Structure 1
Amino acid sequence: MTTTARSLIALLLFTAPACAQVTAPSAAQPAKPKVVEAKPEKPPEKATTEEAETEQAAPPSEAETAIAAAIQSYVIAFNKGDAEALAAHWTPEGEFATPAGDILQGRKALQEDFAAYFSANQEAKIELLETQITLVSPSVASEVGVARVIVPDQEPSDTMYEAVHVKTTEGWKIDRVSEQAPPPLPPSNYAHLQELEWLVGRWIDADETSSIESNVQWTKNRNFITQSFKVSIGDRVDFEGTQIIGWDPYAQTIRSWTFDSDGGFGAGRWTNQGNRWTVQSLNVLPDGRRGSSTSIYEIVDENSLQFQSVGRQVDGELMPSIEPTTVVRVSVE
C-alpha cells in the first residue's frame, strides 16, 4: 500500500466509523478518492422584473427615516457621555423603567441619572442590536431591540428594550422606555467539549485521482460538534456521511455517533490523556455485520495530527491495523 493510499484510509477512518469500508472479513478495502469543491446552488432567477420588484423590501417611510436618525443621535450622545443631550431626546415627561424596576420620569430626573452613570462609568459606549421600528400611527412608533453597553475592563451588558416614540413640535422624541434582562442562555456543554476545539476546521487529503474532505464545526450553543465528510473519486462522490460529537451527561463522557451513505452507523466513546485522544467504537456495517476498533489521535501541532487505528475487528475476526499517519488541516472555518 502506498503512503498516499494509507493516508487516505487514515483520514477516512478519522471521519467515518472504523471498519465501515470493509466488505469482507478477510481484508479492508481502501478507496482512492479526489475532492470536488462544492459549489453553492445558483438561486432561481426571478420570472419577471415585476416579480423581482414585488419581492424587494419597501423603502423606509419619511417617519421611519426620521426616527432612525433620532435613534442614531441618541447613540452618539450616549457615547459622548453627554447627559444633557441624551435627556433632550425624551419628551418633558418621558418615563424610563430600568431592569431593576426603578422608574425615572421627566428630563431632569433622566439627566441627573445619566450624569451620575457617566461619572461612575467613564468611556461607556452603547450599541443597539436587532432594532425594529413599527409605526403604530402617523405620530406614534414602537422600537424594540437589544441595548449592549460596553464599559472598559467589564463584560458587555445586554438588555432587551421597548421604546415608544412620539412626534412632537421638536421632532420625534422618546416618551417611554422599558428594559429587562435577556432570558437566561440555554444550557451548554461547551465546557466539556472545549478540549476538542482543535477538531474544528476543514481537512483535505488528495492525490491526482481521489480525495477525502472533512468539515468540522460547532452547532448553535456549542452543545455538539458536527463533522461532514465525503470521499470523491475523480468528479464523483463515492462515499459520504456525518458524525456528531457530544457530551453524555448520564455517563459523564464524550460520545460520537456516525452515519454513512452506505447505511452503516456507529458510536464511539472519547477519552484523552493530554494531546492524545482515544476513541473506542462499535459499528454496524450495511450488511448487518458488527465491527469494533480503537482509534488514536495524537495532536502534533496546531494544524496537524497523527492518526492510527488498532484492534479492528469485524464479527470477531481481527483486521489489519491502520499505521500512524499524519493528517493536516487546511483551514479553520
Structure 2
Amino acid sequence: MKFGKVTGFGLSLIALLISAQSVAMAQAPTADAAIKDRVAGFVKAYNGRNAANLSDFFTDDANLIDVDGGVIRGKAGIGAQFATGFAASSNYTLESSVESIRYITPDVAQIEGASTLTAPNEATIVNRFVTLFAKKDNVWKIAEIRDLPAPAEDIHPGTRLKELEWMIGDWVDQKGDLKIHSSVKWGEKQAYLTRVTTVAAGEETSFSSLMVLCWDSQSGQIKSWLFDSEGGRGEATWTRASQDQWVLRAAGSLRNGLPNSATQIVTVVGKDAIKTSSIDRIIGGEVAPDTDEIMMVRKAPAVGGAVVPVAPFVKPAVPAPVGVKVPAAPTVKPQP
C-alpha cells in the first residue's frame, strides 16, 4: 500500500475519532446526569440487598473484577455472587462518589471514583473503582467494574479505627472499696482514641494510666501506647481474633527498666459489659501468674450530661453469648 493511501486512511480515522469525541462532549452534561443517576440507583439496590435489581444494572457480558484480580463474568454470574453475599449476615452500607467521567465514544463512558462500606463496630472498607458504562437501548449499563485498593493517604485514620468505636464511653468495675474506671474518647479530628484509667481504693487514686490508640501506617496495624503513673510504659498490637474478641500482644518496661510482656484478651459480653484478662505474662525474664479476669460495665449518660453507672453486671448461670469488645486492662502491670 502506498504511503499516500496509508496517510489518507490515518487522517480519515483521526477525523472520525474527533467527530465522535465532539458528539460525546456535546452530549456530556445530559449523559453525566444519567450516569450519576445509574450509580445512585446501583447504590440503592445494593443497600436494599436486592441481587435481582443489581444484576439488571449490568450488560449480559459484563465483568466484575475485585481488588485481588478475581473476575466474575456475565450478568448471571454477577447476580449469583451478589445473592450469595447478601445471604450472609452483614449490615454494611455502601456509599459511592463519582469523581470523573470520560467518554470514549458517545455510547461508552469510563467513570472513576471511590466506594466506602461501613457498618457499626466493623472495619470500614475503602476502595477506588474504574467502571465502564455502555449505552444499550438508550439505557446506560455497566460493562465492567474494576475495584482497586485505595491509597493509604486516601483513608482517614479515624476510618481505620471505626471497628473500635464501641470502646467510646465510660466503663467501671467495682469490688468493695476498689474501683477501676476507664474513659475512652476520640482524639483531635478523630485521628486516634485515648483511654484514661484510674484505680482507686476508697477515695484515693492509687494508680492511673493513659493509652493512645491509633492506626500505625508503617506496620499496617492498630497499635496502642500506654504510660502509667508509676513510670512504666507499654506498647501493644491489636488483632481482631473473632467477631467479638481482640488479642493484644503487649510489651513494655517498668520504671526500673525491667522488661515485661503479656497477651491480653479483650471480649465483649452483652451490650454494656466487657471482660479483659492478661495471660502469658513475663516480668524481668520470670513467668508471672495470669491476672484475674476483669469485668467492666458501661456507665450510661444521665439527663443533663452527667454520668451514672448501669446496674452491676451479674454473671448468668448459662454463659452469655460473646458480644462486643472492651477497653483492655492496663498494659502488663505486675501483681503486688
Larger Rg: 1 or 2?
1
Structure number with the bigger relative contact order (C-alpha 8 A, sep ≥ 6) is: 1
TM-score under structure 1 normalisation? 0.43
